[in-house]
Amino acid sequence: MLPNLENITSLLLSAKGGNEVYLEGAALAGMPKLQRLALRFCVGVGEDKGLGPSFSDAQLLEHMPHLQHLTHLYLYNSLSGQSSGSSSEFSAAAYSALTSSSCLHSLELVRCKLPPGVWQHMFPVGKQLTSLVKLNLCGVSRRFEGPQPGDGMMCAPAAAPTGSYLVRCCPNLQEFSAHNMECLAEHFTALWELSSLRQLVLSPTVPADPESDSALMQALCQLTQLQCLILTSSVPEGLLPLQLTQLQGLTCLSIEPRWDVSIPWQERGGLSLTQVRARLTY
Q: Is residue 204 over pLDDT 50?
A: yes
Q: Tell how strand 106-110 and strand 72-76 pair up.
A: parallel
Q: Is residue 181 over pLDDT 60?
A: yes
Whole-number pLDDT of residue 187 = 86
| Residue pLDDT, tens place only, 125-167 | 999 999 999 999 998 988 765 555 554 556 778 889 999 999 9
208: confidence class by pLDDT, cuts 50, 70, 90: low
Query: What percent of the chain stands above pLDDT 90?
Result: 34
Of the listed ranges 99-108, 133-142, 183-192, the least confidently predicted one is 183-192
Contacts of residue 154, defined as CB under 8 A and 6 or more positions apart, other chains included, come to 143, 144, 145, 146
Rounded mean pLDDT of the chain? 77
Whole-number pLDDT of residue 145 = 57
29: confidence class by pLDDT, cuts 50, 70, 90: confident
Of the listed ranges 14-18, 105-109, 209-213, 275-279, the least confidently predicted one is 275-279
User: Does the predicted model carry a pTM greater than 0.85?
Assistant: no
Of the listed ranges 32-41, 125-134, 173-182, 230-239, the least confidently predicted one is 230-239
CA atoms within 13 A on the CB side of 134: 11
Q: Is residue 228 over pLDDT 70?
A: yes
Whole-number pLDDT of residue 231 = 81
Q: 273 or 205, which is more confident?
A: 205
